Structure 1
């Protein structure tokens, strides 16, 4: 297969980036986009630990790029993107003189890359986690100001300049989101951030064959994360507040699943569960049913519509019936609970080893996450978050 077989699409037809690329094996696609799209000469590669240990994906990518175009390689990052690792790798990227970053793996790598290029663009002291923390928080102050008054909001932070190529292996969909998240090692708070240009990765490469390397549990849990995005998206559409999405066409198989994960949602509590040992995508498995029950006080009609769609599904309906649910007595939270259990995921925080005495700290961190404020019922008081966490604890 040659580069002419490669298919590219803009996520938004009004903007040059990001570009989604498929129909060409990921090593060749990455090489082509480095040369012809980004005009980059040296890539710093961040690859997941499991891919580097268990597959030849990294070797294939290095061979396609050639030694002269690989400025450095980092194998593995801790889930939820710790400040310490992000800053450590950023120093390596700076020393390497790389002019692009390639991520080969899931969402933690992508968030890490976003944080690195943002910090490097602003010449942040990479040996000072506190300065980095303040820097990330400042970016969210501008985000809030721009949301409230986009015509007058200004920022003295510089936008990222080193482009990112994401070769995706899961359905986390972080590659479509300009915002990122990183975890403060000391406080365990997961801090969101976004650079003032509100841009994210430039190139997103799909390779359905590569997604087969993802462990089944990771694939299914990130798929549920995409369901969470879509549930929230339907609620936003129902309220009449939605961006006009352009540039998407049908696509079958695993790559179609990748496209399905492109929506963004509100996961404030989930962001803060991660540092307490819950895998990022699996926070959805814990939270989604309870959050829907909590939100039903304001969006019960929309949830009923979604419930009907699930009951009408010939695969889902018999499973729900086998768990003694019925359309007249079950709500969306009940349905999602059964679906998640049927896929074999734990449903309580206790099963992940989260301690009850940590719930108050998790609730406090959640209130500091802007996504919590965007919930259907804005989460602005600790008692609200605690109500959800208690439902999830078990």
Structure 2
């Protein structure tokens, strides 16, 4: 089977790389940019760090900071209006997955026309998107460098997965200086999101030697550095390692795709408006307990990457150590213990399972499930 590796053409990583990104914007001759972000990042001054650099180079800007934690169709439409009204020639997304996903939706509709709903599914766009540079402030979603955009359709109560090579940003920026502002809860949720990306990509049926290599290294780095970031949010070295790790996890899932954890978490986000990373973290060990018999050797590898000594163990026993390690890390970084704690209702499980099985992420899960089996996983996670 052939493999395709999709990435932004330029990826800037490491302490101080934000300035390099602004240099490129100036060199490319962009005159006015729409910054797509959220109200919190605007209020606490993260956006100002970027607009100050733009202003110093006489690059004009407008700001759309209405992105919700689970960006909606309305967010995309509002952002598009800002883009047109301000006659911008570039979009810069600033934040985590939500602003990046919203900006990707704006960029796609800006050049392809119609509504964002028209592009649900895989490779529905025909035109290249509006120029987009994504500046990351979290170490988790990797949306700054992927071909995925997830937009909530509130009318249908679903999260639309838009998977299209054309939404891949031109440039991704991961400067850990911008990540120092993240509170513990967001650090934990986004870090566990990155771990989920790496694990689901590693056990995916579409994995290849490149995705396997970066996924396994990302698992190791997240296991080591996420607790350090929780312990001390100003630990710049650990933040930088997490920036690299989440990028590698993104590189893995952007090309090997995902599985049932994401398929199920998407339904929780759409129904209850819960943080995506928290949903992933709670579901992760339960889904992988269902999956591990499909590829126990890979789960043994994950156990080793997460610091477990599995020498002398049978492969299935070693595989189960990986699942324990996932649950232990979630506890260490303060993730809620179960779905009941975050407000999921048992009466919704049948509908959640039915919706989950329509999610594009199901295709590459290592083991296929019936609706009843998905319901059972949800019930175990309650």
- 1:309 Cα deviation from its structure 2 partner: 4.1
Q: Is the 8 A contact 2:176 2:240 kept in 1?
A: yes
- How far apart, in 2, do the equivalents of 1:170 and 1:205 lie? 11
Is 1:340 aligned with 2:336? Answer: no
Distance 1:97 1:194, change over 3 A: farther
50, 53, 73: which one aligns with 1:61: 50
Deviation at 1:352, TM superposition (A): 0.9
Q: 2:295 aligns with which of 293, 296, 299?
A: 299
Q: Using the alignment, how far apart are the partners of 2:198 and 2:6 within structure 1?
A: 23
Larger Rg: 1 or 2? 1
- State whether structure 2 residue 62 is matched by structure 1 residue 72: yes
Q: Which moved more, 1:263-272 or 1:61-70?
A: 61-70
Measure how far apart 1:48 and its partner are.
Answer: 2.7
Q: Cα 1:303–1:244, aligned 2, differ >3 Å: closer, same or farther?
A: closer
Selected match of 1:378 from 368, 374, 380: 368
Partners of 2:5 and 2:294 in 1: how far apart? 34
**Contact 1:208-1:253 within 8 A present in 2 as well:** no
Over 3 Å counting, the alpha-carbon distance change for 1:22 and 1:42 in structure 2 is farther
Aligned with residue 222 of structure 1, among 182, 190, 194: 190
1:15 Cα deviation (Å)? 7.6
Q: CA deviation at 1:368?
A: 1.7
CA contact (8 A) 1:292 1:332 kept: no
Structure 1 residues 279 and 204: CA distance shift in structure 2, 3 A? same
SS in structure 2 opposite 1:89? helix
In structure 2, the residue matched to 1:277 is: 273
Displacement of 1:330 after TM fit? 5.1
Work out the CA distance in 1 between the residues paired with 2:30 and 2:150: 26
Extract unaligned runs of 5+ from structure 1: 1-11, 125-130, 144-154, 318-326
> Normalising to structure 2: TM-score of the pair?
0.80
| Counterpart contact for 1:289–1:337, Cα < 8 Å | yes
- Larger helix percent: 2
1:87-115 CA distance string (max 9 Å, x none): 11112112221111111111010000111
Q: Tell me if the contact between 1:136 and 1:191 (Cα under 8 Å) persists in the aligned partners.
A: no
Q: Which range is displaced more, 178-187 or 71-80? A: 71-80
Moved over 4 A (4+): 12-16, 236-246, 327-330
| 1:255 has 2:244 as partner | no
In 2 relative to 1, CA 331–86 (structure 1 residues): closer, same or farther, beyond 3 Å? same
Secondary structure of the residue that 1:354 maps to in structure 2? coil
Superposition deviation, residue 243 in structure 1: 5.3
Structure 2: state its 5+ residue gaps. 222-235, 311-316
Partners of 2:175 and 2:275 in 1: CA distance = 24
Q: Aligned residues, how many?
A: 341
Tell me if the contact between 2:297 and 2:319 (Cα under 8 Å) persists in the aligned partners.
no
Equivalent residue number for residue 381 of structure 2 = 392
Alignment partner of 2:16 out of 10, 24, 44:
24
Cα–Cα, structure 1 residues 194 and 97, in superposed 2: closer, same or farther, change >3 Å? farther
Shift of residue 253 of structure 1? 3.8
1:206 corresponds to 2:174: yes
3-state SS, counterpart of residue 66 of structure 1: helix
Which residue, out of 72, 81, 89, partners 2:71? 81
Q: Residue 226 of structure 2 aligns with which residue? A: none
User: Structure 2 vs 1, CA of residues 230 and 20 (structure 1 numbering), >3 Å: closer, same or farther?
Assistant: same
Alpha-carbon contact 2:72-2:152 (below 8 Å) kept: yes
> Are 1:168 and 2:158 counterparts?
no
1:41 aligns with 2:31: yes
What residue is the counterpart of 2:352 in the other structure?
Answer: 362
> Secondary structure at the residue paired with 1:102?
strand
Structure-1 separation of matches of 2:212 and 2:365: 21
CA distance in structure 2 between the partners assigned to 1:39 and 1:214 by the alignment: 32
The residue correspondences of 1:62-141 to structure 2 (distance < 5 A) are 62-66=51-55, 69-124=59-114, 132-133=116-117, 135-137=118-120, 139-140=121-122
| 1:357/1:18 CA distance change after superposition, 3 Å | farther
